[in-house]
Structure 1
Amino acid sequence: MDTPRTHTGRSPLQLAALVVGIVFLLVGILGFIPGVTTNTDELEMAGHGSDAMLLGIFEVSILHNIVHLLFGIAGVVLSRTWSGARNYLIGGGVIYLLLFLYGLLISHDSPANFIPVNSADNWLHLVLGLGMVALGALLGRARTRTRL
């Protein structure tokens, strides 16, 4: 089976996974940069006690930033194949939807908020989850058979 390719040699699905992966890498890096992230002197390894805020909106910790970096690396690596890209987008989207539910169910001031998340994170996780699943499902349908 062949898929339509862009000028980069990647299918639109693979390109979407690559872009999402790069964005996660950037977010992971930006979470450590003073000025982009406020209160970096209060950046903790994990937990709701971390008062560092990416863009002054999203609560982050060292763990949270590392997860973004690893998620970004996974996207870049998995974008190399069509099935890897589809699995990354759909599977990653499901993970973010579960993270959205997790953020709704826990008290943000409790030890259960080890990631940490706040209301802005929760809504972003919902949008990311829905967007990634939609990209994986819609662009994944475009795979067509061609005759050799």
Structure 2
Amino acid sequence: MTTPIASAEKKETVRSPAQWVTLSYAAVFLLVGAAGFIPGITTGYDTLQFAGHHSEAMLFGIFQVSALHNIVHVLYGLVGVALARSATSARHFLLWGGVVYLGLWLYGLIIDTDSVANFVPLNTADDWLHLGLGVTMIALSFLRRESRHARSIR
């Protein structure tokens, strides 16, 4: 029999490895998206465009960014936080997010960086980052659904 006091106690939240990884990626996406709007962290900030390859703003002096690029990172981070609530949705975020990043990597390899097709904008550093993100996110989507702690308390 459960007493009212015991039932009022909060249950311990146990997150799966996939949920922790998703929260980590989401936090980085949020930080990077916000950093893209901070002069100094983003060099050439005065050249920041909403979209397109004419933006010469460079996050950390390496990655070409635009306002659209930064907004997408923030939105990606918010989606990651929301999907980290369950192990299954966290794994889907990692898997499908990784697929999207591999698609961006291929897109960056195919397009001419000086063309209007480069609306994101992308440069070589972005391409390598997108490859790394795509591969690691897909690989990490195969993490266990449960934490070891969750299995041991059953």
CA distance in 2, matches of 1:36, 1:51: 14
Unaligned ranges ≥5, structure 2:
1-11
Query: Which residue does 2:29 correspond to in 1?
Result: 24
- How many percent of aligned residue pairs carry the same amino acid? 57
Query: Which residue does 1:57 correspond to in 2?
Result: 62
| Correspondent of 1:42 among 20, 43, 47 | 47
Tell me the amino acid that sits aligned with residue 38 of structure 2: I
Tell me the amino acid that sits aligned with residue 37 of structure 1: T
Query: Which residue does 1:3 correspond to in 2?
Result: none
CA distance in 2, matches of 1:129, 1:141: 20
Tell me the amino acid that sits aligned with residue 88 of structure 2: S
TM-fit CA distance, 1:92 = 0.1
Structure-1-length-normalised TM-score: 0.89
Alignment map for 1:99-110 (pairs within 5 Å): 99-110=104-115
Tell me the amino acid that sits aligned with residue 48 of structure 1: H
Unaligned ranges ≥5, structure 1:
1-6
Q: Is contact 1:86–1:140 with CA below 8 Å preserved after alignment?
A: no
TM-fit CA distance, 1:9 = 2.0
Structure 1 or 2, whichever has the larger Rg, is 2
User: 1:66-89: per-residue Cα shift (whole Å, max 9, x none)?
Assistant: 000000001111000111100000
Query: Which residue does 2:118 correspond to in 1?
Result: 113
TM-fit CA distance, 1:64 = 0.2
Query: Which residue does 2:85 correspond to in 1?
Result: 80
Structure-2-length-normalised TM-score: 0.86
| SS of residue matched to 2:141 | helix
Aligned length: 141
Q: How much is the aligned-residue C-alpha RMSD, in angstroms?
A: 2.0
1:96 aligns with 2:101: yes
